[in-house]
Structure 1
């Protein structure tokens, strides 16, 4: 039961953080960022927000996101009614880069197979 609730809260946080990144946060260090997933602890006290960064300035963007953690937490607390607002922690998600790399390897293998 608690796991199902943490998943629902995670989805709500994902929507709200995405909205905040698009409309509210104006930090010039934060470029094109996509929220890929949110993991919420069972007691709803901590939320890891996984982001994908598409403009290549990974370190600078992560610094900007970490600087906004307090603002994001306050906004989440106002938008989602919870007894305790979870602590927001931004984490870099490299799954898109890994998927692209695997796709390139598979294409190369396919090209090598056609040459024979």
Structure 2
């Protein structure tokens, strides 16, 4: 019998990510928050808590956006309970900032700078 690699919490997390993406977009629009996107959702095995990882267009807007979303988490959870998801109990939501995109851009910038520093003078001309 094949193993079940895709856990129930993964399936629920994927569905929550889709629904929360719409709800966070609406919260951004309605409350004038910085542009925010849902990156991932991690759920505890007992389905009591969901950590919602978000990112913003500008890194300096990340913490204010997360703070505002955590203040709105009860309202978002209520909207999630009344959405199309059929869950007995909607998990408590905890929003956190995902800085992996920022770190990736920083690493890419450093690599580009290093490549420029190591490039021979005169550019790419070959004689």
Provide TM-score, normalisation by structure 2. Answer: 0.81
- Residues 13 and 38, structure 1, Cα contact 8 Å, conserved in 2: yes
Q: Which has the higher contact order (CA 8 A, sep 6+)?
A: 1
Q: Is structure 2 residue 107 aligned with structure 1 residue 83?
A: no
- Unaligned 5+ segments in structure 2 are 122-127
2:98 matches 1:97: no
Aligned length: 115
Q: Aligned pair 1:35/2:50, yes or no? A: no
Task: Judge conservation of contact 1:18–1:34 (CA < 8 Å) in 2.
Answer: yes
Structure 1 regions of 5+ residues with no counterpart? none
**TM superposition score normalised by structure 1:** 0.88
| RMSD between superposed Cα atoms in Å | 1.9
Report deviation, 1:77.
1.5
Deviation of 1:23 after TM superposition, in Å, equals 2.9
Deviations 1:10-64 (A, max 9, x none): 1111111111122355112x21001111001111111000000224323322221
Q: Structure 2: how far apart are the matches of 1:105 and 1:15?
A: 34
- 1:9 paired residue number: 12
1:62 aligns with 2:57: no
| Runs of 4+ deviating beyond 3 Å | none
